[in-house]
Chains A and B, each alone.
Chain A
Amino acid sequence: MKYVDEFRDGDTARAIGTRIAALAEPGRRYAFMEVCGGHTHTIYKHGLEDHLPESIRLVHGPGCPVCVLPMGRVDDAIAIARDPDVIMTAFGDMMRVPGSDGSFFDAKAEGADIRMVYSPLDALKIARANPERRVVFMAIGFETTTPSTAMTILRAAREGLENFSVFCNHVVVIPPMTAILDSPDLRLDGFIGPGHVSTIIGCEPYRFIAAERGKPLVVAGFEPLDILQSIHQLMVQLAEGRCEVENQYGRVVPWDGNRRALEVVDEVMELRDTFEWRGLGWIPESALQLREAYAAFDAERLFTIPGRRVADPKACQCGDVLQGALEPWECGVFGTACTPETPIGTCMVSSEGACAAYYNYGRFSRSRTRGATSLPDPVVVGR
């Protein structure tokens, strides 16, 4: 596949891996957090850790939109979806996220009209085609997806659509990073910064992390070589005693972000005073809601929702995993009570969740396969 295979080349990866290993000081251990769930997915899917020396540990961060959604919000969405007048629309990875009484999939099996869409514009199409129904879009995501939700609302307003609304759960990335930096348990040497979020917000908002918090940050792309290269850049910074924000993903991320997209979001949405994050608790000014001027498209105002806070099951340690304080397999229910088919915590649901990524891709002993002593040689069968 052109423009993809180049970023997955094994020989280049081995070369970068060697350079990373050469930069590692003997006896020192390194921990880098990849903030974004897309990075977590790539790391496990391509077996990226096989190219890293054992002294480098990747810590998985809170940047998976599905993972940070608290159970109470899922319950609220399901309550809206159960209204017989409603067609609920959502991205596919929302479907299996458990609320306190089942998921979208379960509600759908019980008769709720819930449809998977690939874009909020698809939800708008459904609204136009079903004027007698009320169509709600379950909006989740960081700054990456917020502009498309905002654009969709603007378009609905322009068309005068009266049967379309958004249940807004959009969140912003800097506050949880600050919360993690404030956490006393965590020792990090640097951040692999989110790629797609940065196409919108640019690199400037991270500057305080390097300047005031003393942690280097490299914004990285989503192919495995992007991530490996960003780790190399972090190691070079540490070796040279620098602490800066760098942009590895220059082919997509402009340093100043996407001003037009930010304006659109600002037109339609404003920061909430506070918002609950799964596992991280309430974080001030960490999520968005629709402005008063767009109240006609705000499902939170149009529907009666329970708004009840639901505590996570006690055994679930998603919070510690999301903060990087715990490896997925160190959670007491990982892989036994909590599996991708019966997830207890959200980290096990989304393909971007650290627990699901480890369970689906990394659930074998690397010590047994490292060096590939027990694995058979690649098969060569002559014709």
Chain B
Amino acid sequence: MSSDVTAGWAQDALDRAPRQGPDRSEEAVLARIEKVRRRRPRVREERITLAHGAGGKATATLIDAVFLEAFRNPALERLGDGAAVEVDGTRLAFTTDSYVVSPLFFPGGDIGDLAVNGTVNDLAMCGARPLWLSAGFVLEEGFAVADLERIVASMARAAAAAGVSIVTGDTKVVGRGKADGLFVTTAGVGVRERPTVLDAAAARPGDVVLVSGPIGDHGVTILIARGELDIDADLASDTAPLHELAAAVLDAGGEGVRVLRDATRGGVATILNEIAVDSDVAVVVDETTIPVRPEVAGAAELLGIDPLYVACEGRMVVVVDAERAPAVLAAMADRPDGAGAVAIGRVADDPPGLVLLRTGFGGTRIVDVLVGDPLPRIC
């Protein structure tokens, strides 16, 4: 009965891995793992799985191995929320994002304002003032025109609120069953008027990590809105434009601001990991300081998910030098969109590339990049 099959992919992984030498001490093993982690990833799967869209390791691998490999250029290589480009001395930011959220309408918003705010925020995280947006629609045969009108009206309101114009667009219709109602793609252009250079690689030991408010509202709201879980909670998505808050941070922190990121897919944990790896620093976060609404904490606990990985659509992570941190925090807290801002941690030099969490229980653990996908189609 017994057959000695070693699965092909397992053999493949074994062939690629360095042979574990005679030194099996924990330190030596950890050092080897870090070496492997920093290698260029390779897509192992023959087909796309939902994990490739989850914003975690599989997404990063796909982007790096397929898209970056094919499109490689200096602006893309930084893999920020948007590209920082320059033309005739004018510093621009340029970004694009597709929206496939299910359901299309949820407490606190819909796919329309999500698509506008998401792209506005990607520009804001580049330190830019958002100017123009495009909007592309893929519509499924049979989709209600009234719903489309409702979504488009919501986009118009969100654009007006953010001070941007939707200046170009596209419409395609596919047959029934070929798209789930509608998908929206927006792109945006903004101008970077402030001199601060923002980069996930710019964090330095001693810097302070801030978040602009309670985390995880959007992801948990969507999950509950799907109605599959028989859970009710008084929650709404946090979808909101962040460009004014970002401008306030830059005005208060100036050159001391190192990184701005909006914590969307993959949540705050994913952002912090990107900063730790790109800047070759450790990020140390205190669990008790992380703001999470009780409803979000409760739902996450029931579902076995960690709010640190749950998407926000109107929250940002700021890394700023310690000296400017109080001024930046005060500037954020003075605004309604930053009223919940707090410091959650600090940048350290060791161990580089890792995010450490001091738990409320009094222990220390790492916070890794998410592997699976607990929450597909969240944005």
Contact with B along A290-329 (1 / 0, CB 8 A): 0000000000000000001111011110000000000101
Cβ of A129 within 8 Å of any chain B Cβ, yes or no, is no
Cβ of A224 within 8 Å of any chain B Cβ, yes or no, is yes
Cβ of B73 within 8 Å of any chain A Cβ, yes or no, is no
A363's closest neighbor in chain B, by CB? Answer: B366
What is the bound-complex CA distance between A209 and B234, given in angstroms? 48
Contact B45 A311 (CB under 8 A): no
What is the bound-complex CA distance between A50 and B359, given in angstroms? 11
What is the bound-complex CA distance between A318 and B289, given in angstroms? 37
Contact A329 B49 (CB under 8 A): no
Q: Which of A176-222 contact B (CB under 8 A)?
A: none
Q: Which of A25-33, A252-260, A330-338 contacts B (4 or more CB under 8 A)?
A: A330-338
User: Among B11, B49, B58, B361, which residue has its beta carbon within 8 angstroms of that of A47?
Assistant: B361
Q: Which of A94-152 contact B (CB under 8 A)?
A: 95-96, 98-102, 105-106, 108-110, 118
Contact A109 B48 (CB under 8 A): yes
Contact B356 A44 (CB under 8 A): no
A4's closest neighbor in chain B, by CB? Answer: B301
Contact B363 A47 (CB under 8 A): yes
Cβ of B167 within 8 Å of any chain A Cβ, yes or no, is no
Main secondary structure, interface of B, reads mixed
Contact B27 A381 (CB under 8 A): no
What is the bound-complex CA distance between A5 and B284, given in angstroms? 22
Contact B229 A118 (CB under 8 A): yes
Q: Which A residues lie within 8 Å of B10 (CB)?
A: 98, 313, 316, 337, 344
Most buried by A among B206, B210, B359, B368: B359
Q: Which of B2-40 contact A (CB under 8 A)?
A: 2-11, 13-14, 16-18, 20, 24, 26-27, 29-30, 32-33, 36
What is the bound-complex CA distance between A339 and B350, given in angstroms? 23
Main secondary structure, interface of A, reads loop
A102's closest neighbor in chain B, by CB? Answer: B9
Contact A106 B49 (CB under 8 A): yes
Contact A364 B354 (CB under 8 A): yes
Q: Which B residues lie within 8 Å of A44 (CB)?
A: 365
Contact A369 B50 (CB under 8 A): no
A108's closest neighbor in chain B, by CB? Answer: B49
Contact A109 B47 (CB under 8 A): yes
Cβ of B364 within 8 Å of any chain A Cβ, yes or no, is yes
What is the bound-complex CA distance between A376 and B344, given in angstroms? 12
Contact with A along B338-379 (1 / 0, CB 8 A): 000001111010110010101111111110100110100000
Cβ of B222 within 8 Å of any chain A Cβ, yes or no, is no
A interface size (C-beta, 8 A): 78
Cβ of A14 within 8 Å of any chain B Cβ, yes or no, is yes
With both chains docked as a complex, state the minimum distance between the C-beta of B244 and any C-beta of chain A, in angstroms. Answer: 20
Cβ of B294 within 8 Å of any chain A Cβ, yes or no, is yes
What is the bound-complex CA distance between A351 and B372, given in angstroms? 10
What is the bound-complex CA distance between A380 and B345, given in angstroms? 9
Q: Which B residues lie within 8 Å of A92 (CB)?
A: 372, 374
What is the bound-complex CA distance between A314 and B15, given in angstroms? 13
Q: Which B residues lie within 8 Å of A334 (CB)?
A: 29, 33
What is the bound-complex CA distance between A372 and B282, given in angstroms? 14
Contact A46 B361 (CB under 8 A): yes
Contact A8 B361 (CB under 8 A): yes
User: Among A309, A313, A335, which residue has its beta carbon within 8 angstroms of that of B1?
Assistant: A309
Contact B30 A363 (CB under 8 A): yes
Cβ of B254 within 8 Å of any chain A Cβ, yes or no, is no
What is the bound-complex CA distance between A328 and B297, given in angstroms? 30
Contact of A383 with B366 at beta-carbon distance under 8 Å, contacts A8-B361, A311-B5 already known: no
Contact with B along A3-15 (1 / 0, CB 8 A): 0110011100110
Contact A311 B3 (CB under 8 A): yes
The 6 closest A-B pairs by CB, nearest first: A47-B363, A337-B17, A335-B33, A10-B362, A336-B17, A50-B363
29 contacts between A and B (CB under 8 A): A1-B294, A4-B301, A8-B360, A9-B361, A45-B365, A49-B363, A51-B363, A96-B372, A100-B5, A101-B8, A106-B45, A106-B49, A108-B50, A309-B2, A313-B6, A313-B14, A327-B26, A329-B26, A330-B29, A333-B13, A336-B20, A340-B368, A341-B61, A342-B44, A363-B368, A364-B30, A364-B351, A375-B364, A378-B358
* Residues of B that sit less than 8 Å from A by CB: 1-11, 13-14, 16-18, 20, 24, 26-27, 29-30, 32-33, 36, 44-45, 47-51, 57-58, 61, 206, 208-210, 228-229, 284, 286, 289, 294, 297-298, 301, 304, 325-326, 329-330, 333, 343-346, 348, 350-351, 354, 356, 358-366, 368, 371-372, 374
